[in-house]
Structure 1
Amino acid sequence: MTSNAAAQVAPTQSIPAIGTEYGGGTVTGIVSENGQQYLVITAGKAHELRGELGTYGQDVEGAHSYTDGRANTEALAAAGSELAQKVLALEIGGFSDWAIPARDQQELQYRHLKPTARQNYAGYRDGDNPSSVPPGYPYTEDLPAKTDVSAFQDNGAEAFAEEWYWSSTQSSADTASSLGFSDGLQLNSDKFLEARVRPVRSELIQ
């Protein structure tokens, strides 16, 4: 996660718990990349954006990471994605290193901040997250359950909409990974479709 590692560091002795307000947003979980761990922080609902992810048929080099949303977002922005450019322009809580979450960062948003008690889609390997700490296993119909973080519960001030959200992980020249917050279904969606984005930032844990 080379784009973020040098900017901010979260000391191991004081890692804030999931659901804690920290670093310009809410702590969402931890991902591991290349032997290092990164705290994932989700921006507030007021900073959600909506739009097309990119150009259908354009394979963007550098936008295939499952863990480094910042690198993906920078690559997408350089390739002309207006949505990615808007996210890179955000400054929230004094931080300017926001990104469209990579696939495994985004999965933590649903796993830990799921807005409703609705059953999860559990048809294949939705929720499988080998990058998370601890590793995340595929969803069952009942797990994850509705979040106990009150602000993110349905009708809460920070709740995710029961709609589709983009990740920044490109699956092919035509598609990128997306997640439906109504039931946790993960799909590769055409990049010209409009969906929401809830930005994240990362801090290296030392």
Structure 2
Amino acid sequence: MTQHEQNSISASDLPERGQPLAGGTFVTRYWLNGAERALILLPDELSGPWGEYDQDVADAKSYSDGAANTRAMAEAGSDLATRVLELDAHIPSHLEGALLMSAKADDLVTLREDRWHWLSTQYSANHAYTLAFGDGWLSLSGKVYVRLVRPVRSLPIQ
């Protein structure tokens, strides 16, 4: 697994939203599990199925913690999640996807608009959430379908 050298960032060292940070683009500050974090959109684009049909990944149901969801997906055998983790990144959660959509609407990031993107939040044993960045539609898709992923990083703010 490739390890990104930056593990946290000082609040005083944060760039303006939309500027480079930790190998990607700084999207926004947000709170996760009681800690303030910096969300970073990576330039990579991957595609593949979310996972297996009729496989409940019990630890991939967080609406906010994409990193935990992505680890659970990889442990359950998701090739897509494993490839994202190798980038020292994760698949955005439901919340992180909404934050990306907000940054796109503010013209801070560019996101592909012609395809659906996976979110790491599982809906059921057969479906996971997807987001269309063209119009902001949130939907469900069968986990076996091939969709895009734009990996993100989340750094603790000190």
Q: Same fold (TM over 0.5)?
A: yes
State the TM-score, normalized to the length of structure 2.
0.89
The CA distance in 2 between the partners of 1:202 and 1:166, in whole Å, is 17
- Displacement after TM superposition at 1:74 (Å): 1.1
Q: How many residues align?
A: 153
Amino acid at match of 1:100: I
SS at match of 1:167: strand
**2:131 alignment partner, SS class:** strand
Say if 2:138 is the partner of 1:179.
no
Counterpart of 2:155 in 1: which secondary structure?
Answer: strand
Offset of residue 100 of structure 1: 0.8
Point out the structure with the larger strand share: 2
CA contact (8 A) 1:52 1:191 kept: yes
Tell me the equivalent position of 1:104. 95
1:32-58 superposed Cα distances (whole Å, 9 cap, x missing partner): 1232111110001xx201111011211
Partner of 2:156 in structure 1?
A: 204
- Percent same amino acid among aligned pairs? 40
Q: Where do residues 124-163 of structure 1 align in structure 2 (5 Å cutoff)?
A: 147-149=106-108, 152=110, 159-163=111-115
- The aligned counterpart of 1:74 is 71
* Cα distance in 1, alignment partners of residues 135 and 69 from structure 2: 25
Pairing 1:32-71 to 2, within 5 Å after superposition = 32-44=31-43, 47-71=44-68
Whole-angstrom CA distance in 2 between matches of 1:78 and 1:15: 33
| Alignment-derived partner of residue 143 in structure 1 | none
Paired amino acid for 2:7: Q
Displacement of 1:15: 2.3
CA-based RMSD of the aligned residues comes to 1.6
The whole-number CA distance in structure 1 between the counterparts of 2:38 and 2:63 is: 15
Shift of 1:16: 2.1
1:87 aligns with 2:84: yes
Asked if structure 1 preserves the Cα contact closer than 8 Å seen for 2:57 and 2:73, the reply is yes
What is aligned with 2:3? none
Per-residue CA deviation, residues 148-200 of structure 1 (Å, 9 max, x unaligned), is 34x72xxxxxx423220001011111111110112101012211111100000
How far apart, CA to CA, are the structure 1 residues paired with 2:30 and 2:117? 19
SS in 1 for 2:119: strand
Counterpart of 1:17 in structure 2 is 16
Structure 2: unaligned runs, 5 residues or longer: 1-5
Q: 1:112 to 1:65 in 2, by over 3 A?
A: same
Counterpart AA for 1:77: A
**Aligned residues of 1:179 and 1:187 also touching (Cα < 8 A):** yes
Q: Deviation string for 1:95-117 (max 9, x for gaps)?
A: xx201111111111111124xxx
Q: For each residue in 1:40-91, what CA deviation from the matched residue of structure 2 results, as whole angstroms up to 9, or x when unmatched?
A: 10001xx20111101121111211112221211111011111111111122x
Residues 166 and 178, structure 1, Cα contact 8 Å, conserved in 2? yes
Q: Distance in 1 between matches of 2:107 and 2:121?
A: 28
